[in-house]
Amino acid sequence: MGRESMEYDVVIIGGGPSGLATAIRLKQLDSELNVCLLEKASEIGAHILSGNVFETRALDELLPNWKELNSPIKTKVSKEKFLFLGKTKSLSWPTWLLPAVQQNHNNYIISLANLCRWLAEQAEALGVEIFPGFPASEILYNDDGSVKGVATQDMGIDKEGNQKDSFEPGIELLGKVTVFAEGCRGHLGKQLIEKFNLSDGKDPQQYGIGFKEIWEVEEKNHEEGMVMHTAGWPLDNNTYGGSFMYHAENKQVFLGYVIGLDYKNPHLSPFDEFQRFKTHPAIRKIISGGKRISYGARALIEGGIQSLPKMYMPGALLVGCDAGTLNMPKIKGSHTAMKSGMIAAETIIKYIKENKDLSNYEEKFKNSWVYKELHAARNVKPSFSWGLILGIIFTGIDQILFKGKLPFTLKHKHADHETLKPANEMPKIEYPKYDNVITFDKTSSVYLTGTNHEDNQPVHLKLKDPNLPISYTLEKFDEPAQRYCPAGVYEVQKENNVNKFVINSQNCIHCKTCDIKEPSQNITWVTPEGSGGPKYGNM
Amino acid sequence: MKILVAVKRVIDYNVQIRVKEDGSGIVTENVKMSTNPPDDNAIEEAVKIKEAGKATEVIAITVGEEKSQETVRKALAVGADRGIHVKADGIIEPLAVSKILQKIVEKEKPDLVFMGKQAIDDDCNQTGQMLSALLDWPQATFASKINVEEGKLKVTREIDEGLETIEINTPAIVTCDLRLNEPRYASLPNIMKAKKKPIEQLIASDLGVDINPRVQQIKVEEPPQRKAGIKVASVAELVQKLKNEAKVI
């Protein structure tokens, strides 16, 4: 049966900061334009997870009167701390000795999910048609190879791929331009990058996995506006990562941990590193007596401009972290994502009205402050491949003395799926037991995400070779999917003494880590039925 | 034949409910809201009856705050023809809702009123029954199968002992069980069409219904946490513990 199709001027895939900024800018520049935005979550914001200390630069340009529009940007950063953690000790680093990019006094502590909900209201008020619960599952091409639009996922397909009574076919959404704003490791963006060779001549993309919990803490431990970052324990010198702790409004503390997915030890469990981190005296004293109310995780981009693919192709653009515009030393990507979307919108208007080529996007991007920012930040992440200590020393020189202007660019040498060493060559890590007060297991954590997927649908985590996890990955790497997945999706179970690889896809919180880190790239994340996945509140 | 279907906006069933620190209620801020699940079944059944040519109009109604309109809009996207939103803030108890529904029934004169068997937030399971009493109409609760016949309904009910099939005359009230059907998905074009369907807005107080709560909520607290289990080494130890510690045998 043929699918119905709907035509728009611009079709945007993804309701995060980049997609919404694109939509808003388009309608500001031309209110007549037909713009629609698809979001796979059940509502805008439900799949958004971010620290978040927000720099308002892009928003100031997009909606200069945001302060009058009842935006959820309320808590100004009032105090900053940076700690180096030892196992029990901590050393406070004076903030004046931090590079300027890591200073936050003009920024705000926000919930990015709530910011997106608010941006969606602004977009809808301008006439953007927003469709939550509709994942774009397939890219459509014209005969000449250019991108024509996307198709939404069929709904009501059972486990075996048959149509259920509730079957509802997907719809084709066709745009003069299609904007991909899926965020880090978008599953369509990934296909486009490959098909149009957008990463040719670039370094392999670098990723991290970020965890976040929201804690309601005791009044005496809460300092609204306080921003704290840590490096060091529990990670060793060779693993890239660190924590954040942001004291938001309503006695809430946003607590999180980011670990570079270029880690080498297959026994490492990012989730357990985060849980263990919370037991450090400097952290425990703030959250003890409090209550954990939210949990989530999401992969993020760390590659910077060395890894940034070409962001245009015939008929389509990549914006935000679907391309990879996050500023790693700043640990911020919302403002750069929004700005990239705004530049995309300006390019699209010229393309539609004056027939100017979409390649102008890249030129405009290069002339913007985003590019300048990312250029100055480019050497920080690769320098940490020498270890934490050398990385810090180099970053001090690069960022404080030279302000990112050193006359060379360090390269990212490996893709994250290539970095694991064989399990028998690396030390096993004994993680402490969960105490259910400060530390928790994956099951009770995933429970807090409100994640659900309709039970009777095809597994949305596809194995290229279904035997590989047991025949190769278990043997060589002790199947690290059991540990890198923050939601307990992957398990190796013994049945009659035979190992079996189990995928609990219902638990998936759409972080995309498996798609990135699987050593043989054997797992492909595809969109499940619409509205599936987490239901994050103020993440 | 006209069918009026009542839908309620509740906290999504996947969301973990959190009690407010001061025990004054539950946290609804930053929480995903959805249509009460059995209300989806009620809408689905009404739309199916209409599609079978046995009804001419399906009207979705909700009572609640401004945002409750979303549930009506969703009902419109899966096939309801028009909507009514009776605006009322705060806790609206089942009696108040049924009195509001009574007023709407008097105005709209439907032949059938459908709704979910109960709402998953307060679990009251009262509105349908109270409305039936107020209107003096027959009722069929916990319906898992509905056959529409001339001037009457044959309804299969989910009861403790199994299934019970009853016949009632219309007009009637039916409260729907989750087993009644599988609600359809709203398609994208239908969501767009739903944006253009009318929703009549009324204000509860204008209907002359007293919606003040009659029940005072004193305190809300979480159920006590279950303690972790222990492993025993032998049957003898288990028996000893059950006898002396748990004191259950």
What pLDDT digit, counting tens, does each position of B51-91 carry? Answer: 999 999 999 999 999 999 999 999 999 999 999 999 999 88
- Quick check: A1 pLDDT over 60? no
Contact call for B185 and A171, based on CB within 8 A: no
For residue A16, is it within any domain? Answer: yes
- Rounded Cα gap, residues A260 and A262, in angstroms: 5
Sketch out chain B's domains with CATH numbers: 2-224 (3.40.50.620)
Residue A324 reports pLDDT greater than 90 = yes
B189 in A contact zone (CB under 8 Å): yes
Q: Please report, rounded to a whole number, the percentage of residues in chain A having pLDDT higher than 90.
A: 89
Is there a domain that residue A249 lies in? no
User: Average of pLDDT values for A68-74?
Assistant: 96
Span A452-467, average pLDDT: 94
Stretch A465-471: mean pLDDT? 96
Burial of A2 (0-12, 13-18, 19+ CB in 10 A): exposed
- Residue A499 pLDDT level (bands cut at 50, 70, 90): very high
Domain count for chain A, please give it: 1
Q: How many CB pairs under 8 A join A and B?
A: 56
Judged by CB atoms closer than 8 Å, whether chains meet at B184 and A171 is answered as no
Mean pLDDT of A157-180: 94
Q: Does B106 touch chain A (CB under 8 A)?
A: no
The string of pLDDT tens digits covering residues A344-363 is: 999 999 999 999 999 999 99
pLDDT band at A403 (very low <50, low <70, confident <90, very high): confident
A114 vs A385: which has the higher pLDDT: A114
- Here the CATH number for the domain that contains residue A150 is 3.50.50.60
Please, which pLDDT band fits residue B30 given cuts at 50, 70 and 90?
Answer: confident
Q: What percentage of chain A exceeds 70 in pLDDT?
A: 100
- Residue A166, pLDDT above cutoff 90: no
- What tens digit of pLDDT does each residue of A404-455 get? 889 899 999 999 999 999 999 999 999 999 999 999 999 999 999 999 998 8
User: Taking residues A136-147, what's their average pLDDT?
Assistant: 97
Query: What mean pLDDT is reported for chain A?
Result: 95
pLDDT tops 80 at residue A58: yes
List of chain A residues whose C-beta atoms are within 8 Å of the C-beta of residue B192: 129
Q: Model confidence over B118-157: pLDDT tens digits?
A: 999 999 999 999 999 999 999 999 999 999 999 999 999 9
Chain segment A257-278, per-residue pLDDT in tens: 999 999 999 999 999 999 999 9
Nearest to B15 among A168, A450, A538 (CB): A450
State which residues form the domain around A159: 5-67+113-203+306-377
Condensed to tens digits (0 to 9), the pLDDT of residues B156-192 reads 999 999 999 999 999 999 999 999 999 999 999 999 9
* SS3 call for A227: strand
Average pLDDT over residues A476-486: 97
Which of A168, A217, A529 would you mutate first to test chain B, the one with the most B CBs within 10 A?
Answer: A168
Q: Which two tokens stand for residue A431?
A: 């993680």
Mean pLDDT, residues A233-253? 94
Q: Where are the beta strands (DSSP E) in chain B?
A: 2-6, 9-11, 33-35, 57-64, 82-87, 112-116, 139-149, 152-159, 162-169, 172-176, 199-203
Is residue A47's pLDDT more than 90?
A: yes
pLDDT tops 90 at residue A96: no
Integer Cα distance of A255 and A226 in angstroms: 12
**CA distance to partner chain B, nearest, from residue A449 (Å):** 8
In a domain, residue A125? The reply is yes
Residue A385 within any structural domain of the chain = no
Give the gap in angstroms from C-alpha B246 to the nearest C-alpha of chain A: 24
Query: Integer distance in angstroms from the first to the last C-alpha of chain A?
Result: 40
- Does A234 reside within a domain? no
Q: What is the pLDDT of residues A328-340, one digit of tens each?
A: 989 999 999 999 9
Which of A46, A156, A447 has its CB closest to that of B185?
Answer: A156
* Residue A97 scores a pLDDT above 80: no
Length of chain B: 249
Above 80 in pLDDT, residue B12?
yes
A139 in any annotated domain: yes
Chain A residue with the nearest C-alpha to that of B183: A166
Q: If you measure CA to CA, which chain A residue comes closest to B15?
A: A450
- Among B32, B40, B48, most A C-beta atoms within 10 A, so best to mutate, is B32
Question: Where is average pLDDT lowest: A94-98, B98-102, B229-233?
Answer: A94-98
B14 and A450: CB-CB below 8 Å?
yes
Q: Is residue A133 assigned to a domain?
A: yes
State whether residue B155 is helix, strand or coil: strand
**Which chain A residues are closer than 8 Å to B182 by Cβ?**
164-166
- Tell me if A363 is assigned to some domain: yes
Among A117-126, A376-385, A441-450, the range scoring the smallest mean pLDDT is: A376-385
Name the A residues in 150-189 with CB < 8 Å from any B CB.
Answer: 152, 155-156, 164-166, 168, 171, 173
CA atoms of A12 and A123, how far apart (whole Å): 12
How confident is the model over B199-244, as pLDDT tens digits?
999 999 899 999 999 999 999 998 888 887 888 999 999 999 999 9
Question: What is the Cα–Cα distance from A476 to A511, expressed in whole angstroms?
Answer: 24
Question: What residues have CB less than 8 Å from B190, skipping those under 6 apart?
Answer: B77, B78, B79
What's the confidence (pLDDT) of residue A435?
Answer: 95
Report which of B67, B71, B49 is spatially closest to residue B58, judged by C-alpha positions.
Answer: B49
Distance CA A486, CA A493 (A): 18
Note the pLDDT of residue A285: 96
Average pLDDT over residues A142-147: 97
The residue of chain A nearest to residue B187, with distances taken between CA atoms, is A168
Q: How far apart are the first and last CA of chain B?
A: 61
